[in-house]
């Protein structure tokens, strides 16, 4: 007897589940319900159509109900909303929005893929004709229509996550002045402050008025005829704006799961097991609505990302049709374009490691995206976090104009494969001058971390500079010209690395020597010289460039 599978939600996870289910069983009855007018659309591409990089709206429609039906023989019912789930009877109540009628469908297996909806705080006046969120194609169309109708001179984006940053850039591409308001001390929460500060500089260089540590408190009353809003922030300041984008975050869509009595996790997402089953064995859940097991610790996390959603949708279909596969946890590998830069991360950040009381060490590498003598090379700044006991990779972050994606992709694979920092130095990666270096950025990170693990390099970090005592001596080993051009860390003395031997007799042995250069390489040379002569010495990981990033 063929199975009847119902799927609620037709974007990433739901569409993947439907296609996989059909490939596994030609006789199964598969119905996808989507309350919106589109399925399988590229929701990650919405800001880029608003900004004009993706010119044709049709490019965002990866499949239509007709094309999906033709290829997979799946019954796609758009603008059909699920009102209730009866898990005892194994039925759902559906409302056909266009026909304005209700009906019931039975199921053998049910997959929930409702996604996550924009979170809009209960701010006075925020519900108005000039305020928008961005989740789907109709939202995108409404924002574009508002821009074309009202021709805003100024827009405000609340929230500095993926959608907030992408929308800020999109609006600047339309020559609209933009203020970005973010409650935290940084944009892009998955990375740490020194990486985020590089983004802060990039945003300001492209004309974004960045307000960090601020929150929207009130929106001035408007009428439909008005083309501006008065925004009041939590510090009492006000600003006038013609368009307000609320992108402060998303929350799992769990209303159906709650109504059905399914178990909800500690973070507010649907709780599932390793087979993507909810607390009811016949009901599965995937994508942004669920709590994922985090890769390093296995703790619950919310990961509104397309990659995990696609994998989970496929897995749910596999399990329904007899494959006993399990989900292999989520690393939250992600990347975002911010004007001319890319920022990417995988695994845990330093702030999360601190919060979870997980022991870690870190190193920084600043290197070129490919051979520096070949035109078009750009700096890549990479932060690697690892277990100081066994060298296992805990997380990584990178920012730069080029080559950021492939470095984080390599480190994501290495982490999933259980490789250590010792393995990174031996990875054989592509090299030709237009594409990389004989010793890639990832190799360099592995070498540096391995040196730290073996004790060949003792590093200190920027945070330690706030606690320097008179028993320590901070030495800048860059050239005098570099110091004149870029400045120096307060309290340091300048002795260029090539002059150290000639001046070694002036450097006291009864003090701990803290050395730094621009990015760490010459600091390592200085460290080895001092260490071989019996000095107690440490090198600043990432050098002056990392210090500048911390103190932007």
The residues assigned a catalytic role are 44
Helices (H), 321-459: 350-355, 404-416, 421-424, 441-454
Compute CA 36 distance to the chain's CA centroid, rounded to the nearest angstrom. Answer: 26
Pairing of strands 472-476, 512-516: parallel
Helices (H), 387-479: 404-416, 421-424, 441-454
CA distances from 122 to 126, 217, 232 (A): 8, 9, 14
Q: Give the number of other CB atoms < 10 A from CB of residue 439.
A: 14
Q: Strand, coil or helix: what is 268?
A: coil
Cα–Cα nearest to 526, from 548, 503, 498, 490: 498
Phi/psi-derived region of residue 310, left when phi > 0, alpha when psi is between -120 and 50, beta in every other case: alpha
Q: Is the dihedral of CA 279, 284, 288, 291 positive or negative?
A: positive
Residue with tokens 């089953």: 277
**How far, in Å, CA of 518 to CA of 501, rounded?**
20
Compute CA 42 distance to the chain's CA centroid, rounded to the nearest angstrom. Answer: 17
Could you tell me which residues come within 8 angstroms of residue 146 by beta carbon, excluding any fewer than 6 positions away? 130, 132, 152, 243
Determine contact, residues 305/334, Cβ cutoff 8 Å.
Answer: yes
Helical (H) or strand (E) element with 144: helix 137-150
For 287, the token pair is 């994508």
Helical (H) or strand (E) element with 66: helix 65-72
Determine contact, residues 172/178, Cβ cutoff 8 Å.
Answer: yes
**How far, in Å, CA of 156 to CA of 147, rounded?**
13
For 99, the token pair is 């026909």
Pairing of strands 393-400, 341-347: antiparallel
Helix axis angle, 162-173 to 193-205, nearest 10°: 20
Determine contact, residues 94/81, Cβ cutoff 8 Å.
Answer: yes
Determine contact, residues 31/7, Cβ cutoff 8 Å.
Answer: yes
Helix axis angle, 441-454 to 404-416, nearest 10°: 50
Q: How many degrees, rounded to 5, is the angle at CA 260 between CA 257 and CA 265?
A: 40
**How far, in Å, CA of 31 to CA of 375, rounded?**
53
**How far, in Å, CA of 78 to CA of 32, rounded?**
8
**How far, in Å, CA of 17 to CA of 109, rounded?**
12
For 93, the token pair is 């109540």
**How far, in Å, CA of 541 to CA of 445, rounded?**
11
């Amino acid at each position: 007897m063929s199975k009847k599978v119902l799927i609620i939600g037709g974007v990433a996870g739901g569409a993947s589940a439907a296609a996989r289910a059909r490939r596994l069983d030609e006789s199964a009855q598969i119905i996808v319900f989507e309350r919106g007018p589109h399925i399988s659309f590229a929701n990650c591409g919405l800001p880029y159509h608003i900004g004009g990089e993706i010119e044709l709206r049709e490019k965002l429609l990866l499949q239509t109900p007709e094309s999906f039906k033709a290829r997979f023989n799946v019954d796609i019912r758009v603008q059909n909303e699920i009102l209730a789930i009866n898990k005892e009877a194994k039925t759902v109540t559906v409302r056909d929005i266009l026909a304005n009628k209700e009906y019931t469908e039975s199921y053998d297996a049910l997959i929930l893929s409702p996604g996550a909806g924009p979170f809009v705080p209960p701010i006075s006046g925020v519900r108005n004709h000039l305020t928008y969120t961005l989740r789907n194609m109709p939202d995108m169309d409404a924002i574009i229509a508002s821009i074309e109708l009202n021709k805003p001179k100024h827009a405000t984006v609340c929230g500095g996550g993926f959608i907030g940053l992408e929308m800020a850039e999109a609006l600047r591409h339309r020559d609209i002045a933009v203020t970005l308001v973010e409650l935290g001390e940084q944009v892009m929460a998955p990375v740490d402050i020194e990486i985020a500060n590089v983004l802060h500089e990039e945003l300001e260089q492209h004309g974004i008025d960045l307000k960090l540590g601020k929150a929207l408190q009130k929106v001035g009353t408007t009428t439909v005829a008005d083309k501006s809003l008065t925004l009041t922030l939590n510090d009492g300041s006000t600003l006038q704006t013609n368009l307000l984008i609320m992108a402060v975050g998303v929350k799992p869509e769990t209303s159906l799961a709650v109504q059905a009595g399914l178990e909800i996790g500690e973070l507010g997402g649907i709780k599932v097991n390793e087979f993507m089953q909810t607390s009811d064995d016949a009901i599965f859940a995937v994508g942004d609505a669920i709590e994922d097991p985090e890769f390093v610790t296995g703790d619950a996390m919310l990961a509104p990302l397309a990659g995990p959603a696609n994998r989970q949708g496929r897995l749910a279909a596999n399990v329904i049709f007899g494959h006993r596969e399990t989900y292999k946890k989520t690393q939250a590998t992600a990347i975002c374009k911010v004007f001319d830069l890319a920022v990417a991360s995988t695994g845990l950040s330093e702030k999360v490691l601190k919060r979870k009381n997980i022991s870690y060490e870190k190193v920084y590498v600043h290197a070129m995206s490919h051979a520096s003598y070949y035109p078009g090379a750009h700096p890549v700044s990479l932060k690697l976090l690892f277990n100081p006991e066994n060298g296992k990779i805990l997380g990584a972050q990178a920012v730069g104009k080029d080559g950021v994606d492939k470095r984080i992709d390599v480190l994501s694979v290495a982490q999933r494969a259980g490789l250590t920092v010792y393995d990174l130095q031996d990875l054989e990666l592509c090299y030709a001058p237009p594409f990389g270096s004989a010793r890639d950025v990832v190799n360099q990170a592995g070498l540096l971390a391995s040196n730290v693990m073996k004790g060949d390099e003792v590093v200190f970090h920027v945070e330690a500079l706030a606690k320097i005592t008179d028993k320590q001596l901070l030495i800048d080993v860059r050239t005098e010209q570099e110091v004149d051009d870029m400045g120096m860390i307060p309290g340091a003395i300048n002795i260029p690395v090539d002059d150290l031997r000639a001046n070694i007799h002036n450097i006291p042995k009864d003090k701990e020597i803290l050395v730094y250069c621009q990015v760490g390489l010459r600091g390592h040379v200085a460290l080895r010289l001092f260490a071989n002569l019996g000095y107690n010495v440490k090198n600043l990981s990432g050098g002056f460039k990392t210090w500048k990033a911390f103190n932007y």
